[in-house]
Amino acid sequence: MQRQGFREKDVLRARPGGRAAGRIMMAAGLPVLLAGTALAFAIRPAHAVPAFAEQTGLGCEACHVGGFGPQLTPFGREFKLEGYTLRSGKKFTPPISAMAVGSFTHTKKDQVPPPDGLDSNDNFAFDQGSVFIAGGIGQHFGGFAQITYDGVGKAWAWDNLDLRAVTKGHVLGQDAVFGLTLNNSPTVQDVWNTTPAWGYPYTDTAVSGTPGAAPLIDDALAQDTLGLSAYAWIGQKYYLEAGAYTSPAAGTLNWLGVDPTDPGDIAGLAPYGRLAFQTNAGGGTLELGAFALKAALNPGRDRSTGLHDRYSDVGLDASWQKPLANNDLVSVQTRYVHESSNLQASCALGLIGTNTSPNCAKTDLNELRGDIHYVWHGKVGATLAGFTTSGSTNMDLYGPAGNPDSNGVMAQLDYTPWGNGHSPLGPRFNMRVGVQYTAYGKFDGATHNYDGAGANAADNNALRVFTWVAF
């Protein structure tokens, strides 16, 4: 029997956003609180906004690698950091866009039980549809807001939000951009495709099993929070950001289509910080950076114990992007995240372990991800990615295998025929078609029998064919 990694919350991110999976899951019949809520491969945020292309008068390929979002070129990074304000001329352009993703997924073994409303294997799915309000107003304000329909979960919800106020000045004789960003997911404001919100894969499975453990910063707080950060971009080299996140009221989140209890609400404020350095190297653009998030949560918004679940996430990241002849391009992205957590509130509430369990509360988690991407003639893309999650042994927390270890590889081929804006349906229409294959070496702690019911990691290997359109 194959354990099913799919949960209702997973699809609520048909990644254009969406939500991280709940911290509490069923593993071999026992309630387990995962060390990290966001699934290692829950569907990644789709971000392709043709309204920006019309506003700037440029094809999607000017801002996006391979002519389709969300991976940004250096020019695209500048556009975002300058508050989405660049405009070609004074003509009004409608600040509305839409996108949709559909797919076919085959897993090596049937999923037992099958995803809600789907078959145990060979599923065609409308993964998601999104509407964007996106654009710049004058020289100082811009942003985008996204509303998404989850085609698998059959639900609407607010999705990614990034509203900016910017101005320009000088620091030590260097040109600088100073900005504020109001957003609803840590790292959604980032411009490098290394941090969790915009990291590879940019679209992924809505219907097949994925590993359970991941750091809190891997989208567990996406759409559950609201944060304000101040940033400075100095000399097109140095990026500094500091801010904090809080949790909107439960009624507000319910109205926005989000479960306010998953994973819970933030006690006080959750500080977030980001540093990055960008320079030319090896004929391309090199970025080196670090980021950190610290949060205290009331699991399920339960305050009865007077305790909190505490998380400290620290990450390092790097990227390199080099344009070649004939509109070819190569890029490399990687990140490492270490999480230390103390789940005192969940232990006291009996959500995991017992009050007397010496190993119940504290745990460590490590995540390492990387990908290399090649674009041929600006149209055909090939990506090879690897991922691994490891952490401390904790039988209370992780179920039959007793540890969070998972690893594997993903390969993707895709084709984007109209990234230059010359679609026969007009400059707003863009499309990507692709095929992905994900193979697991270890899944939720083991290679074989990871769920105690005979399931192997390779049973979750998945082939996915997708079509992604934006207009």
Give the number of other CB atoms < 10 A from CB of residue 347. Answer: 26
- Of the listed ranges 66-75, 87-96, 120-129, 429-438, the least confidently predicted one is 87-96
Instruction: Please indicate, yes or no, if residue 267 is contained in any of the structural domains.
Output: yes
Collapse the DSSP code of 432 into the 3-class scheme (helix H, G, I; strand E, B; otherwise coil) and give the result.
strand
Instruction: Please indicate, yes or no, if residue 1 is contained in any of the structural domains.
Output: no
Give the pLDDT score at 360: 81
When divided into structural domains, the chain yields a total of 1
Q: What is the end-to-end Cα distance of the chain in Å, rounded?
A: 42
Give the pLDDT score at 396: 83
pLDDT tens, position by position, 268-277: 999 999 999 9
Give the pLDDT score at 398: 86
One-letter amino acid at 89 equals G
Instruction: Please indicate, yes or no, if residue 110 is contained in any of the structural domains.
Output: yes
User: CA triplet 108, 114, 115: central angle to 5 degrees?
Assistant: 110
Q: Tokens at residue 77, please?
A: 């990074």
Instruction: Please indicate, yes or no, if residue 41 is contained in any of the structural domains.
Output: yes
394 or 43, greater pLDDT: 394
pLDDT tens, position by position, 455-471: 999 999 999 999 999 99
| Contact assessment for residue 437 and residue 414, using Cβ atoms and an 8 Å cutoff | no
CB neighbour class for 106 (10 Å; exposed up to 12, middle 13-18, buried from 19): middle
Collapse the DSSP code of 74 into the 3-class scheme (helix H, G, I; strand E, B; otherwise coil) and give the result.
helix
Give the pLDDT score at 91: 86
Q: Is the pLDDT of residue 46 over 60?
A: no
Instruction: Please indicate, yes or no, if residue 397 is contained in any of the structural domains.
Output: yes
| 279/110 Cα distance (integer angstroms) | 48
Give the pLDDT score at 89: 87
Give the pLDDT score at 356: 57
According to DSSP, the residues that pair with 228 across neighbouring strands are: 182, 244
User: Which stretches of 38-118 are DSSP H helices?
Assistant: 50-56, 74-81
Q: Tokens at residue 286, please?
A: 């090199």
| Contact assessment for residue 153 and residue 164, using Cβ atoms and an 8 Å cutoff | no
In the chain, what percentage of residues exceed pLDDT 70? Answer: 89
> What mean pLDDT value characterizes the chain?
89
**What radius of gyration, in Å, describes the C-alpha atoms of the chain?**
21
Name the residue among 428, 438, 372 with its Cα closest to residue 99: 428
Q: Is the pLDDT of residue 342 over 60?
A: yes
Instruction: Please indicate, yes or no, if residue 163 is contained in any of the structural domains.
Output: yes
Instruction: Please indicate, yes or no, if residue 3 is contained in any of the structural domains.
Output: no
| 276/283 Cα distance (integer angstroms) | 19
Q: Is the pLDDT of residue 454 over 70?
A: yes
| Contact assessment for residue 413 and residue 382, using Cβ atoms and an 8 Å cutoff | yes
| Contact assessment for residue 370 and residue 334, using Cβ atoms and an 8 Å cutoff | yes
Q: Tokens at residue 11, please?
A: 């699809």
pLDDT tens, position by position, 183-217: 999 999 999 999 999 999 999 888 888 999 999 99
Task: Tell me how far the alpha carbon of residue 181 is from its chain's centroid.
Answer: 18
Q: Tokens at residue 302, please?
A: 């339960």
* Average pLDDT estimate for 155-168: 97
Q: Is the pLDDT of residue 386 over 90?
A: yes
Q: Which residue is listed with tokens 């993903």?
A: 410
Give the pLDDT score at 39: 30
| 15/442 Cα distance (integer angstroms) | 24
Give the pLDDT score at 5: 30
| 125/119 Cα distance (integer angstroms) | 10
Domain span at residue 17?
Answer: 8-470
Identify the CATH number of the domain in which residue 322 sits.
2.40.160.10
Instruction: Please indicate, yes or no, if residue 2 is contained in any of the structural domains.
Output: no
Give the pLDDT score at 28: 30
User: CA triplet 221, 98, 127: central angle to 5 degrees?
Assistant: 60
pLDDT tens, position by position, 87-128: 998 888 999 999 999 999 999 999 988 888 899 999 999 999
Give the pLDDT score at 22: 31
pLDDT tens, position by position, 210-237: 999 999 999 999 999 999 999 999 999 9
396 dihedral zone (left: phi>0; alpha: psi -120 to 50; beta): alpha
